[in-house]
């Protein structure tokens, strides 16, 4: 079946502009995660959605970052007034349940470059 998909694959934007990144999780997966990976670095947790529960936003680095998820489907990560330090690969992952340990399946990521 189809895996996690993300769009766009690459995004180049100018400092100060807003960007919207999209994630389509695997169908039926109730848990969805966003991570940021700077060049040569690890995976930095941003936000976690589990079913209809309130999202865990504790990893968002500033109020310029926000994310939404429609039911148990598509999620969008929005970065307002982008800064150069926002340049990174943004990875989305989904799993069949967030309440029991399960494999997280990652999307291919969106490479964001802020000029």
Where along the sequence are the contacts to another protein (CB under 8 A)? 31, 33, 35, 41-43, 45, 48, 50, 56, 91, 98-99, 101, 103-104, 106-109
Helix (H), strand (E), coil (C) string for the chain: CCCCEEECCEEEECCCCCEEEEEECCCCCCEEEEEEECCCCCCEEEEEEECCCCCECCCCCCCCEEEEECCCCCEEEEECCCCHHHCEEEEEEEECCCCCCCCCEECCCEEEEEC
Q: Least separation, in Å, of the C-beta of 81 and another protein?
A: 27
Q: Least separation, in Å, of the C-beta of 99 and another protein?
A: 6
Q: Least separation, in Å, of the C-beta of 5 and another protein?
A: 11
For another protein, the closer CB: 3 or 16: 3
């Amino acid at each position: 079946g189809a895996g996690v998909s993300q769009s766009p694959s690459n995004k180049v934007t100018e400092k100060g502009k807003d960007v919207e990144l999209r994630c389509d999780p695997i169908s039926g997966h109730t848990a969805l995660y966003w991570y940021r990976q700077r060049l040569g670095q690890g995976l930095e947790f941003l936000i976690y959605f589990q079913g209809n529960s309130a999202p865990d936003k504790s990893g968002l680095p500033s109020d310029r970052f926000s994310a939404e998820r429609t039911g148990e489907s598509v999620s969008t990560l929005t970065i307002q007034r982008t800064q150069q330090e926002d340049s990174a690969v943004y990875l989305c992952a989904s799993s069949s349940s967030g309440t029991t340990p399960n494999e997280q399946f990652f999307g291919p990521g969106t490479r964001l470059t802020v000029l």
